[in-house]
Amino acid sequence: MSLLSTSLLGTQFTNPLLNASGVWCRDKVELDALNASQAGSFVTKSCTLEPRTGNPEPRYFSTPMGSINSMGLPNEGYQYYLDYASQHDYSHKPLFLSLAGLSVADNLKMIEAISKANLPAVVELNLSCPNVPGKPQIAYDFDAMQTMLEAVTQQYDKPFGVKMPPYFDFAHFDAAAKILNSFPQVAFLTCINSIGNALVIDTESESVVIKPKNGFGGIGGDYVLPTALANVNAFYQRCPDKRIIGCGGVKTGEQVFQHILAGATLVQVGTELHEEGPGVFARLLTEVTALLERKGYKSIEEARGKLRTL
């Protein structure tokens, strides 16, 4: 076993890195670039039943500390990603399919088609899209989350994961974990989606920087690293039978290592992938390898969840 290899759901990964859904994964050209990159796996753009063009532009903006976006689920429709997944060579690298149906019924239709296709692709069910006007995030409504998971687990018989939003209170960590733990089929949690409905202001123009929702959007990058690490660690502690995929604020190998210490098995890269392109994965692997070697680790799994407290 090499220094960086790991496993999830019985599948081997040559390294823990992949994209955050939404970044560099909307069409075949982008997905093929991830497949050709040094990422250990990759995930498709969250999809809906029908294709969507998404919100008006500008809808993504970079700042020195990260990014804000309100894309509005632009995607090619689930059939496109299912076709991509059916042509993918899984012996080369694992692939995740991200689903973000606009209703329970939409998710059930997509899940039914995925079931029938019987592919090795792993579902990441998005419970935390903050950017569709008029549609609140499912995972901020615990009854809706329970209903969605009951429906999906009845329809689907394979293990899958859920993409979670950040929580900011121990009562919410506890309540979310209790629901998730009542569904053993939920095998992993991806923590976190962007911190939703933030506002970036440009001083000179005295204006918002993105057009949808009067400038409100989800933030990523440096802004979110401590929140992401807290959520990874909070759910790592509360959900001992599940795996955690860390997402949020990864810009260097050091931050990959911090996510793993907090409890992550895999680590996703969003804002920095958008900034740097798929070459980011090779750099992060070099950096995290140097860090693990300096610290004397023989495998990345030795570090997982080994965060110390004072």
- Catalytic residue numbers read 129
In whole angstroms, the minimum distance from the beta carbon of 309 to ligand DHB comes to 31
For residue 243, the surrounding DSSP H or E stretch is strand 243-247
Given 126, 255, 258, 268, the residue binding ligand DHB (CB under 6 A): 126
Alpha carbon distance 159, 117 (integer Å)? 15
Give yes or no for residue 46 binding ligand DHB (CB under 6 A): yes
The answer to whether 163 and 127 are in contact (CB under 8 A) is yes
Buried b / exposed e across 10-47, counting CB within 10 Å, b at 16+? eeebbbbbbbbbbbbbbeeebbebbbebbbbbbbbbbb
The answer to whether 51 and 102 are in contact (CB under 8 A) is no
DSSP string for residues in 261-284: HHTEEEEEE-HHHHHH-TTHHHHH
Alpha carbon distance 89, 95 (integer Å)? 9
Given 16, 22, 249, 253, the residue binding ligand DHB (CB under 6 A): 22
Q: How many residues bind ligand DHB (CB under 6 A)?
A: 16
Give yes or no for residue 71 binding ligand DHB (CB under 6 A): yes
Q: Which two tokens stand for residue 175?
A: 């309540």
Alpha carbon distance 294, 305 (integer Å)? 19
Residue closer to ligand DHB by CB (options 6, 131) is 131
Segment contacting ligand DHB (CB under 6 A): 68-76, 81-89, 143-151, 271-279?
68-76
Given 31, 85, 100, 260, the residue binding ligand DHB (CB under 6 A): 100
Residue closer to ligand DHB by CB (options 72, 166) is 72
Give yes or no for residue 130 binding ligand DHB (CB under 6 A): yes
Give yes or no for residue 72 binding ligand DHB (CB under 6 A): yes
Given 16, 40, 161, 218, the residue binding ligand DHB (CB under 6 A): 218
In whole angstroms, the minimum distance from the beta carbon of 21 to ligand DHB comes to 7
Segment contacting ligand DHB (CB under 6 A): 3-11, 70-78, 110-118, 242-250?
70-78
Give yes or no for residue 194 binding ligand DHB (CB under 6 A): yes
In whole angstroms, the minimum distance from the beta carbon of 297 to ligand DHB comes to 32
Give yes or no for residue 129 binding ligand DHB (CB under 6 A): yes
Give yes or no for residue 193 binding ligand DHB (CB under 6 A): yes
Residues 6+ away with beta carbon under 8 Å from 268: 17, 18, 19, 20, 21, 43, 190, 245, 246, 247, 250
Alpha carbon distance 282, 41 (integer Å)? 13
Size of the chain, expressed as the number of residues it contains: 310
Regarding beta strands 66-69 and 95-99, do their DSSP bridges make them parallel or antiparallel, or are they unpaired? unpaired
Residue closer to ligand DHB by CB (options 131, 265) is 131
Give yes or no for residue 148 binding ligand DHB (CB under 6 A): no
Residue closer to ligand DHB by CB (options 273, 285) is 273
Residues 6+ away with beta carbon under 8 Å from 41: 13, 18, 93, 94, 95, 96, 266
**Binding region for ligand DHB (CB under 6 A):** 22, 46, 54, 70-73, 100, 126, 128-131, 193-194, 218
